[in-house]
Amino acid sequence: MRRLIWLSVALALVIAYPLLFATPFQQRLGALVLLYAIAASAWNIVGGYAGQVSVGHVVFFGCGAYAAMGAYAHFGLSPLVGIPAGIVFSVTVAAVVGVPTLRLSGHYFSMATIAVAELARLIVINTEYLGAAVGLSGPTVPRNVFDFSFISALPYYYLFLATLIITLVITWWMTNSRMGFYLRAIRDSERAARSLGAPASRTKLYAFMLSAGLTSVGGALYAMMFGFVDPESGLGILISVKILVMAALGGAGLLFGPLVGAAILVPLEEISNKYLGGEGAGLTFVVYGAIIVLIARFQPGGILTLINRQIAKRRKAPEETLAQGAAHAP
């Protein structure tokens, strides 16, 4: 019950944010936080709950982004048509790539996903139909509302918020389903899970496909907001890194972990870009690298795990003293 109240308060604040902080920079910042939170939450299904650290999620991000822009550039269709196309394409790619790749465990899986992402980028760079190194652009002047090309960040903010809520509800529903239990069992010990009869391969593949579909929606929304996609912004390995770091910083395998991570890192990056300009370009990733190393070394559970532990400790403390007092009572 208390959890529900906190959630409603948080939701009300998130809905009110762009009205309270109404400058274009702040609204854009809010939209970007939500956007990255969508992608990081989608990654969380495979990387956090299932414990399969994918560094190639940008492939699915790119599927969505290229589908949304491709639908416009080649067929003059609204990005709204591109989104489902991107989901279908992305889930198909996930199934094809996932079957051989998910057999690999630990480091091997991560390495294979890096290679898949780099391969996809190299192929797209050499494909004229996908705009090669230049990329694809969306509508320069919107024909109607369904082109989703707005100057203000406000419509994007609410669009992203709705998508994020859907993503989180799906994740929440999944974690409480049979699949969620299987995934956590696989993360803790795949061999034990298998020996107890959990269909590990199938469950991992389903999780990978679900995660891929949701990530592609994030990619499509990204392309819609920026109005273009090129191999670096749509398929660069650094997008994967950002997604992964946000989830890990907030807390991989926790529902709100990715959102917390995005809410910390996106403002950090945007503000450093704003005030340091071009000089900040390299520095941002130096900071990212340092943060990743520090999380890995000191707090692999992420910030939310740390906070949860503190809350649990504080709640437990008064109860203990009470119990001790009772024991000492005559």
Tokens 């709640």 identify what position?
Answer: 315
Q: Is 100 in the site for another protein (CB under 8 A)?
A: yes
Using CB under 8 A, count the residues that bind another protein: 45
Site for another protein in 136-195 (CB under 8 A): none
Per-position x/- string for 8-47, each x denoting binding to another protein as judged by CB under 8 A, each - no binding: ---------------------------------------x
Closer to another protein at the Cβ: 53 or 268?
Answer: 53
Q: Is 134 in the site for another protein (CB under 8 A)?
A: no
Give the one residue of 107, 313, 315, 328 binding another protein; rule: CB under 8 A: 107
324: buried, middle or exposed (CB in 10 Å: 19+, 13-18, 0-12)? exposed
Separation of alpha carbons 54 and 227, rounded Å: 27
Q: Is 126 in the site for another protein (CB under 8 A)?
A: yes
Structure tokens at 259: 């959102």
Per-position x/- string for 271-310, each x denoting binding to another protein as judged by CB under 8 A, each - no binding: --------x-xxxxxx-xxxxxxxxxx--x----------
Closer to another protein at the Cβ: 174 or 295?
Answer: 295
Smallest distance from the beta carbon of 235 to another protein, in angstroms?
13
Identify which range of 16-24, 120-128, 148-156, 263-271 contacts another protein by CB under 8 A.
Answer: 120-128
Smallest distance from the beta carbon of 8 to another protein, in angstroms?
32
Give the one residue of 80, 81, 88, 114 binding another protein; rule: CB under 8 A: 114
Q: Is 264 in the site for another protein (CB under 8 A)?
A: no
SS (H, E, C) the chain: CHHHHHHHHHHHHHHHHHHHCCCHHHHHHHHHHHHHHHHHHHHHHHHHHCCCCCCCCHHHHHHHHHHHHHHHHHHCCCHHHHHHHHHHHHHHHHHHHHHHHCCCCHHHHHHHHHHHHHHHHHHHHCCHHHCCCCCEECCCCCCCHHHCCCCCCHHHHHHHHHHHHHHHHHHHHHHCCHHHHHHHHHHHCHHHHHHCCCCHHHHHHHHHHHHHHHHHHHHHHHHHHHCEECHHHHHCHHHHHHHHHHHHHHCCCCCCHHHHHHHHHHHHHHHHHHHHHHHHHHHHHHHHHHHHHHHHHHCCCCHHHHHHHHHHHHHHHHHHHHHHHHHHCC
Q: Is 257 in the site for another protein (CB under 8 A)?
A: no
Smallest distance from the beta carbon of 283 to another protein, in angstroms?
5
Q: Is 96 in the site for another protein (CB under 8 A)?
A: no
Smallest distance from the beta carbon of 279 to another protein, in angstroms?
8
Q: Is 124 in the site for another protein (CB under 8 A)?
A: no
Q: Is 315 in the site for another protein (CB under 8 A)?
A: no
Site for another protein in 206-245 (CB under 8 A): 237, 241, 244
Smallest distance from the beta carbon of 290 to another protein, in angstroms?
6
Tokens 């696989």 identify what position?
Answer: 186
Q: Is 80 in the site for another protein (CB under 8 A)?
A: no
Smallest distance from the beta carbon of 322 to another protein, in angstroms?
35
Q: What does each C-alpha distance from 276 to 270, 272, 273, 280 come to in angstroms? A: 10, 5, 5, 5
Tally of CA atoms within 13 A in the half-sphere of 159 that contains its CB: 21
Closer to another protein at the Cβ: 76 or 282?
Answer: 282
Binding site for another protein (CB under 8 A): 47, 51, 53, 55, 100-101, 103-104, 106-108, 110-112, 114-116, 118-119, 122-123, 126, 237, 241, 244, 248, 252, 279, 281-286, 288-297, 300
